[in-house]
C-alpha cells in the first residue's frame, strides 16, 4: 500500500507543476508498436478464398507464396520428380519451403487458385508435423483412402512420378473430398475452411470431372449391352431365325445412336476439361 501512496503523491506533484507554472514536464511519448510487412493483396485474397484462420495464415505467409503464370510456374517447379526435392501438384508446388500457385487464363478456372493455395499449405503443414503426429495422421489417411476408387484415380498422376505418398493424400483429401471422418475434418479445419475450398473445387473442376466419370460409366454400360445384343443377334442369324433377328434390329440401332451421342458428349467434355486446365 505504501508504494501506491508514493506514486499518487508523485503524480499529484507533476500535475501541480503543470497547472501552477512549475517546471515543464517532458513531452508525452506514443507507445511503441510492433510492425510487420504488409501482405500483398493477391496473397491476402488467396488466404481469404481458402478460409485460412490466423495461425494458418502465418504458416502460409512464412512460405513466401507466389502467384505465377503457367510458364513461370513450370520453371519454379521444374525438376520435381520425387518427394525428396519438394512436393508437386498439377497447378502448384512447394520448393525449398516456398509455395508456388498457378494463375489460370480461363475465367472459369479463377477460383481454382484457392484450392491450389490450400493444397500447398497442407503440404507445408504435413512437413511440420512431429513424427508421432504424422504416424497417427497417416493411419487416418490410409483408412480414408480404403475403398475410394475416385481418390485412387485422382492420385494416379502422382503414382507415375513416385509421388503417391501420404503427403499427397493429405493435400488431395483435404481440398477435394467431402464427408471425411470427424478426426480428419477437425484436423483440416484448423488450416482451411473446408466447405469454402470444396465449393471452389466443385465449380472449377470437381463438377466437370464428376460429369465425365458418370458419362464414362454410362458409355461403358451401353457398350457392354451392345456387345451382348450383337452376340445374341448373330446367334439368331446363324440359326436362321430372321423374324426374331429383324425384330431386335430397331432396339439395337436405337442403342447405337444413344451410344454414339454419349461418346460425342464425352469427347466434348474431355476436350473442354483439357482446355481449361491448360489455360
SS (H, E, C) 138-168: HHHHHHHHCCCHHHHHHCHHHHCCCCCCHHH
Q: Which three cell numbers stand for residue 176?
A: 477435394
Measured CA to CA, the distance from residue 97 to residue 124 in angstroms comes to 7
pLDDT digits (tens, 9 = 90+) for 132-163: 999 999 999 999 999 899 998 888 777 665 56
Mean pLDDT, range 56-71, rounded to an integer: 95
Quote the pLDDT of residue 142.
Answer: 93
Mean pLDDT, range 246-262, rounded to an integer: 97
Contact 269, 212 (CB under 8 A): yes
Quote the pLDDT of residue 181.
Answer: 94
Place of cell 502467384: 67
Quote the pLDDT of residue 208.
Answer: 95
Quote the pLDDT of residue 163.
Answer: 63
| 241 has a pLDDT exceeding 80 | yes
Mean pLDDT, range 221-247, rounded to an integer: 96
Residue 272 backbone dihedrals phi, psi, to 5 degrees:
-65, -45
Mean pLDDT, range 69-95, rounded to an integer: 72
| 23 has a pLDDT exceeding 60 | no
Quote the pLDDT of residue 156.
Answer: 79
Mean pLDDT, range 250-254, rounded to an integer: 97
Mean pLDDT of the residues in the chain = 84
Quote the pLDDT of residue 36.
Answer: 59
- Place 169 in a pLDDT band, splitting at 50, 70 and 90: very high
Quote the pLDDT of residue 25.
Answer: 45
Mean pLDDT, range 53-81, rounded to an integer: 91
Quote the pLDDT of residue 161.
Answer: 58
Task: Specify the pTM.
Answer: 0.79
88 versus 209: the higher-pLDDT residue is: 209
**DSSP code per residue over 92-117:** EEEETTEEEEE--SSGGGTTHHHHHH
| 233 has a pLDDT exceeding 50 | yes
11 versus 29: the higher-pLDDT residue is: 29
Residues of the chain with pLDDT > 70: what percent? 80
Quote the pLDDT of residue 279.
Answer: 85
Burial 37-64 (b: 16+ CB within 10 A, else e): eeeeeebeebbebbbbeeebbeebbebe
pLDDT digits (tens, 9 = 90+) for 105-119: 999 999 999 999 999
Output 271-277 pairs: Cβ under 8 A, ≥24 positions apart: 272/208, 273/205, 273/208, 273/209, 273/212, 275/106, 276/104, 276/106, 276/108, 276/109, 276/204, 276/205, 276/208, 277/90, 277/91, 277/109, 277/205
Mean pLDDT, range 126-134, rounded to an integer: 95
Quote the pLDDT of residue 212.
Answer: 96
- Place 19 in a pLDDT band, splitting at 50, 70 and 90: very low
Amino acid at each position: 500500500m505504501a508504494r501506491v501512496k508514493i506514486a499518487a503523491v508523485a503524480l499529484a506533484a507533476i500535475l501541480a507543476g503543470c497547472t501552477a507554472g512549475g517546471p515543464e514536464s517532458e513531452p508525452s511519448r506514443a507507445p511503441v508498436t510492433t510492425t510487420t510487412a504488409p501482405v500483398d493483396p493477391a496473397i491476402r485474397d488467396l488466404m481469404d478464398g481458402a478460409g485460412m484462420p490466423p495461425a494458418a495464415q502465418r504458416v502460409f505467409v512464412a512460405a513466401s507464396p507466389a502467384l505465377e503464370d503457367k510458364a513461370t510456374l513450370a520453371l519454379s517447379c521444374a525438376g520435381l520428380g520425387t518427394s525428396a526435392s519438394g512436393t508437386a501438384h498439377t497447378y502448384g508446388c512447394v520448393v525449398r519451403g516456398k509455395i508456388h500457385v498457378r494463375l489460370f487464363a480461363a475465367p472459369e478456372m479463377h477460383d481454382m487458385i484457392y484450392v491450389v493455395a490450400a493444397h500447398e499449405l497442407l503440404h507445408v503443414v504435413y512437413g511440420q508435423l512431429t513424427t508421432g503426429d504424422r504416424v497417427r495422421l497417416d493411419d487416418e489417411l490410409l483408412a480414408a483412402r480404403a475403398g475410394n476408387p475416385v481418390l485412387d484415380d485422382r492420385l494416379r498422376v502422382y503414382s507415375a512420378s513416385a509421388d503417391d505418398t501420404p503427403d499427397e493424400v493429405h493435400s488431395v483429401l483435404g481440398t477435394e473430398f467431402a464427408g471425411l471422418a470427424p478426426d480428419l475434418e477437425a484436423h483440416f479445419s484448423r488450416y482451411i475452411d473446408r466447405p469454402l475450398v470444396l465449393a471452389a473445387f466443385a465449380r472449377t473442376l470437381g463438377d466437370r470431372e464428376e460429369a465425365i466419370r458418370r458419362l464414362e460409366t454410362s458409355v461403358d454400360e451401353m457398350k457392354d449391352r451392345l456387345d451382348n445384343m450383337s452376340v445374341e443377334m448373330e446367334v439368331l442369324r446363324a440359326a436362321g431365325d430372321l423374324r426374331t433377328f429383324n425384330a431386335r434390329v430397331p432396339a439395337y440401332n436405337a442403342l447405337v445412336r444413344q451410344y454414339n451421342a454419349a461418346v460425342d458428349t464425352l469427347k466434348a467434355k474431355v476436350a473442354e476439361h483439357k482446355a481449361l486446365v491448360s489455360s
